[in-house]
Each structure stands twice: as C-alpha cells, then as structure tokens.
Structure 1
C-alpha cells in the first residue's frame, strides 16, 4: 500500500483471525487456562475460494463445515497441499451421507441418535477410516434443533462406545439463541465430566469467550472471522 492509498475501513480476514486469536488467548489467560489447549475451528460454510485461501494464508488449518457436499467442494482438492488440514463436520448428518462424511471428515461433531451411530460404524468398517466423534447435546431441548436431549446423553454415549465401537471424544452444543449461553455450557461440561470426556466443542462468534471460561476445548467461529455469512 502506497502513502497515497487510504487504509480500508473493513478488516481483512487476516486481521479478523489475528483479533479472534487474541481474544481466545485473553479469555484463556483470564480463566487460568493454557491458550494452547483451545482449538479455533473456522466455520467455512458458504465461503468462497478467496476467503478459504485467505484463512489458509493466515495459518488456519482446522475448519468446520455444515454440509457434506459443500465440504467436498471446498476441501477435497486441497488435502494434498495441506496435509495438516483438519475437517470437522458441525452440521446435522443424514444416515445416507454417513459414508461420504466418514471418508472426508476427521471429526464428526453431530452424532445425536443411535441410528446414526450404527450408520457411522458401518461406514467406518467400509472405508477403513475412523474419525473421532462428538455427541451433540440439545441443551435447550429445542424441538427444531438437532441433538440428543440432556437426560438421554449418557445412554447415547454408552451405546456409541460399547455397542458400535465409536471413538467418542467429547460433546458439542449450540445454546438457544435467545437465552444466556453460560448455563448451557455448564450443563455440557457436567455431562462430559461424568462420562470421562475431555473435548467440549461449544461457543460461537458471539459467545466463544464465555465458552472458554467454562471449559471449551474447541470454539466454532464463523462471522467473526469471515464477516457476515453469505447466502449459498
């Protein structure tokens, strides 16, 4: 940029990543936690090629996608160039997409029913890949939202582990949009603790700092990194 070129009034994606990473560190330090123990998952759904490349150029390697087919379009050709890429499915998964999901993703965060556990186990046997799994908990018991109900979470965790042999690493939640998120984060942490689970994927652009204070190991951030979401 020359001396005569005005600075852009809009932050670049690189600037946004730097800012969010700084906030993650600050929240972790304030909570007495090691910032390195918290993973920033960049929610890349609906993003264009330029935005994805800018995120990669900023050093980001962990990405969350909502849809299997869109994730293939975004990442399948980039795997060879970025062997340290980690892809996490953070959207609802239909059983008929289980094989495709297992073939692409390193972590599936949205296991929420026994039928899907069976489909994932069969897909893993078929493909030879064994992505880690998180159980999605519908902490607000919202009828329109995916996730196992809190009082049924222990049973699904046990079934996924024991009956289907899945590697259950932790839990994920999306609190109700119109409620304080802290009680939902605390509930998720409580369920994880009694089941011996170490991973808590919770917190998004508007509340990831609160989630870190309450034990999040992974925060899923989209608009704070990429700007307001584009319509597909």
Structure 2
C-alpha cells in the first residue's frame, strides 16, 4: 500500500473515532491538498478511489489536472488559494469548487465567466476570521452584504471558509465560524488543515483541507 493511501486511511479512521466519541454523525469530505506534488505522487490516491484534490495556483493545476480530468470525470478539483481576477477564466473551466471568494469584484468575474461557458461551480466565501492584515478573506462584518451580492449574481454559495491565525488555538475561531455559517443558513463549511482538522470537524466542518498529513512535508 502506497504511503499516501495509508496516511489517508489513518486520517479517515482518526476522524471516525473522534466523531464517534463526540456522538457526531457528519463525516467530512477530505480535500487532499496536492499543490506542489507531482502527479505520480497523487496517482496512488486516485487509484485507491479518492477524488477530491486542492490546488492553490491555477497555472500549476492546469498543467497537472487538465488531461486527468478529461479521463476521469469523478475527480473534483478545489481552488483553495487566493484567486486573481485575471485567472478566473481558467479557474472556472477547470475547478469544481472555489474556496476563496472574498470580494464582489471576484464574485462578478466568476459569475460572468460561468454564464459565458454555461458551467456552475460550488463556492465558499472566505472569512478573514482572525482579522489579519496580510491574509485574504472578507471581514466578518461585511459578509452579509457579500452573500446577498453573490445570490443576486446567481452564484452557488454553499458555505464559508477560513484559515485561522498561525500558532494560535484554532478552537475559538472554528466555534465562531460554525455560528456564522449557521446564522447565514449554509450547510457546508470549509475549515481545518493538517494541524487542526479534528478540532474543525468538532465544529461542523464538512470539508477539511489536508496536505502534509497525506503527502508528507513539501520540499
């Protein structure tokens, strides 16, 4: 068994045991964050039957996934990094999910592109939950406005996404995100990475974005 498959099975098992203890029924989707890893390192996971992958650069994703997605329609690609408006055209063609929409400008660009090629992708709105200057995401106080704009643009908003501040206890941020997501009436929530995915599922995360725990350290 390839080490990536073993790592994925371990993560799935850890989540099941943890959620059982908490008596939570919802099992989250694991997005294997494959950015910077070559296709030959990803292939064993695809052959095992894992189909959700996260990339943060449009160019790299196009080079890696364009042909593979043509051959395997089960593969779902998640854009998890900051999306520049000049890359939207390519992103909408290739990705199935965008986790990082944080402005009306970006939302408008995606809506226009979707209308142009008659494709609808699932979208998370990224919240800057720690209010950090250097981080993408919309301020939580401006989220309702963005939600109503996206609905007007006929975007398929399925939930919120966040990346809590580094080296802090993520718990309070996850708890806040859960409340905000519920207040806005969304059923999906994208939060939790290799270091804190168990804590994220405790607070109803339905998509966890796990990279190094599956693929190992990035060089």
Same fold (TM over 0.5): yes
**In the TM superposition, what is the alpha-carbon distance from 1:178 to its structure 2 partner?**
1.9
Inter-partner Cα distance in structure 2 for 1:189 and 1:218: 13
**In the TM superposition, what is the alpha-carbon distance from 1:28 to its structure 2 partner?**
2.1
Name the counterpart of 1:174.
163
Query: Is residue 17 of structure 2 the alignment partner of residue 26 of structure 1?
Result: yes
TM-score (norm: length of structure 1): 0.91
Q: How does 1:48-67 map to 2 (within 5 A)?
A: 48-67=38-57
Inter-partner Cα distance in structure 1 for 2:148 and 2:218: 36
**In the TM superposition, what is the alpha-carbon distance from 1:33 to its structure 2 partner?**
2.1
Inter-partner Cα distance in structure 2 for 1:108 and 1:102: 9
Q: Provide, for residues 74-130 of structure 1, a one-character-per-residue CA deviation record: whole Å limited to 9, x for no partner.
A: 111111332111111000001111111111111111000110011011111111111
**In the TM superposition, what is the alpha-carbon distance from 1:208 to its structure 2 partner?**
0.2
Name the counterpart of 2:58.
68
- Structure with greater Cα Rg: 1
Inter-partner Cα distance in structure 2 for 1:197 and 1:186: 15
Inter-partner Cα distance in structure 1 for 2:61 and 2:33: 11
TM-score (norm: length of structure 2): 0.96
Q: How does 1:64-213 map to 2 (within 5 A)?
A: 64-162=54-152, 164-213=153-202
Inter-partner Cα distance in structure 2 for 1:41 and 1:29: 21
Does the residue aligned with 1:185 lie in a helix, a strand or coil? helix
Aligned-residue CA RMSD (Å): 1.4
How many pairs were matched up? 219
**In the TM superposition, what is the alpha-carbon distance from 1:57 to its structure 2 partner?**
2.3
Q: Provide, for residues 30-89 of structure 1, a one-character-per-residue CA deviation record: whole Å limited to 9, x for no partner.
A: 232225x31010000000122111221232100111011111111111113321111110
Does the residue aligned with 2:142 lie in a helix, a strand or coil? helix
Inter-partner Cα distance in structure 1 for 2:179 and 2:149: 19
**In the TM superposition, what is the alpha-carbon distance from 1:169 to its structure 2 partner?**
0.4
Structure 2 residue runs without a partner (length 5+): none
**In the TM superposition, what is the alpha-carbon distance from 1:158 to its structure 2 partner?**
1.4
Does the residue aligned with 1:76 lie in a helix, a strand or coil? helix
Inter-partner Cα distance in structure 2 for 1:226 and 1:30: 27
**In the TM superposition, what is the alpha-carbon distance from 1:218 to its structure 2 partner?**
0.6
Inter-partner Cα distance in structure 2 for 1:179 and 1:92: 22
Does the residue aligned with 1:80 lie in a helix, a strand or coil? helix
Q: How does 1:6-25 map to 2 (within 5 A)?
A: 12-25=3-16
Structure 1 residue runs without a partner (length 5+): 2-10
Does the residue aligned with 1:102 lie in a helix, a strand or coil? helix
Contact between 1:17 and 1:58, CA under 8 Å: does it hold in 2? no
